[in-house]
Structure 1
């Protein structure tokens, strides 16, 4: 009996110290006081709507119950990131109405590119004037003006981040899809678009480095998704060869090459900027799984837009989601949404539904699709 008692004591002590060691060596959770986001329509929370063209209903119908500047029926991945960190949804830097930037700002706008685009809106079918280098400039100005405003000690200073928050903030990036799209829709060959990617990535690294020198240390960078699975590509390039999921294979291969070069560039940035934490996030793989196994995850018709009109993919570039189609007989049809957006992957032919965005966030936030494989809440730079 004495032997058994001693053995139990030894085991208890062993378990206690094992638990103590595990707890003491477990990575601490980050305390991100703010988020600064850079990107395109995949993470635009109202910048494009404030600066250029506002969105009509049924955008925003699922969560906000009205258009909220987001190219979806509800929340975006960046919204779920903010919620998971117990931060409010990011407000657009370009939105001057009732804006509170205490916990960061969003510089992303729809149709933004990394490089200066060939054609800029509102002229024709151009891209956003707020490409990544401009977003960097806006961030730099935001920080400089915020520092000045805080010194005045008035109410406006309370609506801005604290000086120490910039080093501790999370810096998120989701951009690059439109650089590929610009090539595709300018009638470049697939080979020419491939050839443009190194220069696109080089410009990305320049802008990220500049943002680092303004004060960024913790970077969470999304790669680009499977563009060949989106209705606007499938409708425009009807003769493109399809893979087993029905996606335009060549266009997805371009996206994968972009992602390869992006990952290599982030690896180089880690070497050049050692006082930082760079996390490369493979959203491509998660998004592509929605097209290869939709039923497994509770989705249906992944290649068909929920809000659109006409054709195999319910998409028409001339009459997009929320706008009015005039029929030959004089009647009008408002392009509306499908009955069950929560079961659909694609919202308007280009962007994802809230349900799909939530699915992607739940997968990537665990770190299972990240390099290095760390969860979102452990992706901060720790100087110690």
Structure 2
């Protein structure tokens, strides 16, 4: 068995997917390539080593055993979706020339910290990432037949709202800004469709008021999320679902684009985590945190001494750091997505 096939098999077992049923029922319908766009939820190594803590310990401690540019202790959504499709995780765009033939399985264009619009990082936003993809198509890297048997995975907008808050945007104007973000997202989804991608899955917005960093800033009570920020997340997701329905109706293909309901999945895991394994000790508390103000997971002093602490078992934590899930957290989220994915590819 090839190493990539063995990895996919192991991840299938980790997620609890019926491997036999998948091979008998799903192969005819599952895309053969995965193209990934967006932010740190799906970035597997594009963001530079000098500009992010994801290339420093303890990131990557669960998988692959060292930092790999993933914002977690281990695997991300990208890796799990690739395993569901039965293919290796697509190579990062930045490493495309050293891909060793893995380009045939797709490519990852995502960059941490980016959004639908420009944000606080000088890295390619969603529109620019799709532009990179289009250049490869025009250059002959991918043919029309390749695209028809492909899937795009999109994770965007979290950093747009973070940037809005950091710029001290007012709550009064936030409703208008949500509309702008969703409208621009719809433009990008239509562009991917026009380029010929067979299926598109986009992540809904996470319940923003449950992020540890937001709860800390607002001094939220233990084991509670901020209702106001969560309501705005719900508003975004409602508009996004409406936009996706419109795109599918325009194309006459009701299952061309699907929203993965991150909001409901995260809420269920946080409040009913015993019912959808793995079990988390306190789903709202991050595993890896800075020891003092100004430090964060991965921070070190001038002598290289860690300025962070890590929980005893990341497998018992939903959040890895102040924003990103652990590998165990992503496992639980993807398990929630499985019925949607199964219907999407049926």
Specify the TM-score bucket, using the shorter chain as the normaliser: 0.7 to 0.9
Partner of 1:112: 114
**1:216 aligns to what SS in structure 2?**
coil
Partner of 2:73: 73
Partner of 1:59: 59
2:268 equivalent to 1:268: no
- Structure 1 or 2: more helix by fraction: 2
Instruction: Decide whether the 8 Å contact of 2:298 with 2:306 is kept in 1.
Output: no
Partner of 1:34: 33
Partner of 1:284: 263
Aligned-residue Cα RMSD (Å) equals: 2.4
**1:195 aligns to what SS in structure 2?**
helix
After superposition, the Cα gap between the structure-2 partners of 1:252 and 1:135, relative to the gap in structure 1 and judged at 3 Å, is same
Q: Which runs of 5+ in 1 are unaligned?
A: 1-25, 118-125, 148-159, 379-384
- Determine the C-alpha separation between the residues in 2 that align with 1:27 and 1:102: 20
**1:224 aligns to what SS in structure 2?**
coil
- Determine the C-alpha separation between the residues in 2 that align with 1:27 and 1:86: 10
How much has 1:184 moved relative to structure 2? Answer: 1.6
- Select which of 202, 205, 208 maps to 2:186: 205
**1:138 aligns to what SS in structure 2?**
helix
How much has 1:295 moved relative to structure 2? Answer: 4.1
After superposition, the Cα gap between the structure-2 partners of 1:128 and 1:83, relative to the gap in structure 1 and judged at 3 Å, is farther
Q: From the CA coordinates, give the structure whose radius of gyration is larger.
A: 1
- Select which of 321, 324, 336 maps to 2:300: 324
- Determine the C-alpha separation between the residues in 2 that align with 1:34 and 1:269: 22
After superposition, the Cα gap between the structure-2 partners of 1:281 and 1:62, relative to the gap in structure 1 and judged at 3 Å, is same
Q: Which runs of 5+ in 2 are unaligned?
A: 1-24
After superposition, the Cα gap between the structure-2 partners of 1:39 and 1:195, relative to the gap in structure 1 and judged at 3 Å, is same
Instruction: Decide whether the 8 Å contact of 2:289 with 2:308 is kept in 1.
Output: yes
- Determine the C-alpha separation between the residues in 1 that align with 2:263 and 2:121: 23
Partner of 2:328: 355
How much has 1:115 moved relative to structure 2? Answer: 1.6
How much has 1:310 moved relative to structure 2? Answer: 4.3
2:232 equivalent to 1:254: yes
**1:308 aligns to what SS in structure 2?**
strand
- Determine the C-alpha separation between the residues in 2 that align with 1:353 and 1:128: 26
Q: Please give the TM-score of this superposition, normalised by the length of structure 1.
A: 0.76
After superposition, the Cα gap between the structure-2 partners of 1:331 and 1:375, relative to the gap in structure 1 and judged at 3 Å, is closer
**1:124-203 matches, cutoff 5 A:** 126-145=120-139, 147=140, 161=142, 163-203=144-184
After superposition, the Cα gap between the structure-2 partners of 1:363 and 1:282, relative to the gap in structure 1 and judged at 3 Å, is same
